[in-house]
Structure 1
Amino acid sequence: MAATDYSLRAIVEPFLLTLRQQAPNIKVSIRWINEHDLFEQMERGIIDLALTTPEASPGDLRAKTLFSETYVCVLRNAHPLLKNDSLTIEQFCSIDHAIVSYVGGAFEGTTDQVLRSMGKQRRVVLSVPSFLSLVDILKTSDLCAVVPKRLIKNVQGLTTVKLPFDVPGFTKIMTWHERTHHSDAHRWIRESIIKLCNEL
């Protein structure tokens, strides 16, 4: 299975808990997704399933939409700005932010594009390559981050706050190759993932 760190936390981790109960003898290998080589890897049998987005998926693969994701603002539980239930756009822009940059080193993303269209700018002081490390950093600092909502579900020590503006979300899909489409075992795995995503 190929996945991003987001998919690993939001989908694969809860799926593995279910899988270990229902099919304890199945072996699962997780790889970081490489969209450029995904079709070839599936064609050669290196990858059976991939968790990606419609924009990053090769068009020749089978696909099923799993869910639509939204973004939320996240702060540690004892953050000074949590005296109110919501943040103003001025408060949002005045505090230090952390973002995830998969390519590494970027200090702006979709949120910044939205802010720029409004004539606003935030202070991004930390860029990390993974959502997995970002969650732990947020728990022990006064940094703020805009993250996918499912990523921090049931995470202790963090509080979500409604964003004072709209940031476009994304769609998460599951893709697979025609060679495994009619396999009963593969169909069962795919249906199990779909069922899990509907319940989360």
Structure 2
Amino acid sequence: MECMSKCDGSQLDGHLLKLLLAVLETGSITAAAERLGVTQSAVSHLLDKLRAITDDPLFVKRGRGIVPTARAEALAQPARDMLHQMQLFAQGADFDPRAWQTELTIAANDFQRDLLLPALAARLRSAAPGVTLRIVPSGAPSAELLRSGACQLVISPRPPEGTDIVQKRLFEDQYRVFYDPAVRNAPTSEADYLAADHATVAYEARRGLDLDRQLDARGVHRRVVVRVPGFAALPAFVRGTSLLTTAPSLMGRTALAALAGVPVPVACPSLPMYLIWHMRYQQDAAHRWLREQIQAVVGPAMGMGG
């Protein structure tokens, strides 16, 4: 344990903590270097320094890749917590978005991503030019996604449960049925709708849309012939075919703009959308400002003016 007499926690800094998390989350020296915007040799050098401080190899080779040691995995959450505390320390009492230097990770699937986040990115470039926006898919989000610090915010119609998870409703949309008018007419009755073949979305292998679960509970069953992993993939399967797809109406402004859309001729549930975060960010000035920016883009995205 000779290192412990020479190396202690005082040598830790934000760069080393970000490095540890980047290698953990990407599972690759090369990918970590790309995320951090440095060379692979710089990552290797900093990793050697971190190994000396922790007196642990942290990552070991397995086949052509690397895997974390138990010590590296145990350090992940403390590293995220320390980085968050460093950000709070640097902010001081008066938060200035123009001086904010960070990478923000927001988890969102393609519907809410394309509807809201391009406008958010534009606001950040203007008001907080030191912020890098990273967007990852949320799937059906878990509380652990927020607890782990893998992202700072989730935008989803499915808030995970947890007493430490906070949510705020952003808007509510209605479902609409989309189709290619060059191939077929709009479905005008429940019989038309249920007689058609449908394309739909399944973010997980055995979990479809909440829409289908609620329709199935009423004994209304669509004949689904295509399942894709996100709404943005639907147009390629619907164009030039007689398929129907049922999606949030606001997608008529984004991915489904080239298709025709009409109200669904069966009773459908509404689709609420939530902004979701972990309790530890509740009083964080920077995070509060970020939440305000997201709420500010909701109205324009829904065609409600600026």
Q: Which secondary structure does the structure 1 equivalent of 2:261 belong to?
A: strand
The AA in structure 1 aligned to 2:297 is L
- Tell me if structure 1 keeps the 8 A contact 2:108–2:154: yes
Structure 1 residue 191 displacement after superposition: 0.6
Q: State the partner residue of 2:177.
A: 73
Structure 1 residue 117 displacement after superposition: 2.7
In structure 1, the gaps of 5 or more residues are none
Q: Does 1:8 find its partner at 2:109?
A: no
Structure 1 residues 135 and 105: alpha-carbon distance in aligned structure 2, compared to 1, 3 A threshold: farther
Write the distance in 1 (CA, Å) between the matches of 2:221 and 2:165.
39
Q: Which secondary structure does the structure 1 equivalent of 2:276 belong to?
A: strand
- Tell me if structure 2 keeps the 8 A contact 1:112–1:121: no
Structure 1 residue 104 displacement after superposition: 2.6
Write the distance in 2 (CA, Å) between the matches of 1:109 and 1:125.
18
| Correspondence for 2:153 among 49, 64, 76 | 49
Q: State the partner residue of 2:224.
A: 124
Q: State the partner residue of 1:158.
A: 259
- Tell me if structure 2 keeps the 8 A contact 1:107–1:126: no
Structure 1 residue 57 displacement after superposition: 4.5
Structure 1 residue 73 displacement after superposition: 0.5
Structure 1 residues 192 and 93: alpha-carbon distance in aligned structure 2, compared to 1, 3 A threshold: same
Q: State the partner residue of 1:196.
A: 297
1:30-86 CA-partner distances (Å, limit 9, x unpaired): 1222415224223xxx3211112354343312322101121111112423214xxx6
Structure 1 residues 78 and 106: alpha-carbon distance in aligned structure 2, compared to 1, 3 A threshold: farther
Structure 1 residue 108 displacement after superposition: 7.9
Q: State the partner residue of 1:28.
A: 133
- Tell me if structure 2 keeps the 8 A contact 1:105–1:127: no
In structure 2, the gaps of 5 or more residues are 1-105
Write the distance in 2 (CA, Å) between the matches of 1:182 and 1:113.
37
Q: State the partner residue of 1:141.
A: 241
1:131-184 CA-partner distances (Å, limit 9, x unpaired): 121133223432101101122225432111111121112221112223333333
TM-score by structure 1 length? 0.81
- Tell me if structure 2 keeps the 8 A contact 1:95–1:123: yes
The AA in structure 1 aligned to 2:154 is A
Q: Which secondary structure does the structure 1 equivalent of 2:246 belong to?
A: strand
Write the distance in 2 (CA, Å) between the matches of 1:6 and 1:65.
16
Write the distance in 2 (CA, Å) between the matches of 1:191 and 1:107.
31
What do you get for the CA RMSD once the two structures are aligned? Answer: 2.6
Structure 1 residues 11 and 157: alpha-carbon distance in aligned structure 2, compared to 1, 3 A threshold: same
- Tell me if structure 2 keeps the 8 A contact 1:104–1:127: no
Bigger Rg, structure 1 or 2: 2
Which has the larger share of helix?
2
Count residues with an aligned counterpart. Answer: 193
Q: Does 1:61 find its partner at 2:162?
A: no
Q: Does 1:17 find its partner at 2:122?
A: yes
Q: State the partner residue of 2:50.
A: none
- Tell me if structure 1 keeps the 8 A contact 2:178–2:247: yes
TM-score by structure 2 length? 0.55
Q: State the partner residue of 1:93.
A: 194
Query: Which structure is richer in relative contact order (CA contacts within 8 A, separation 6 or more)?
Result: 1
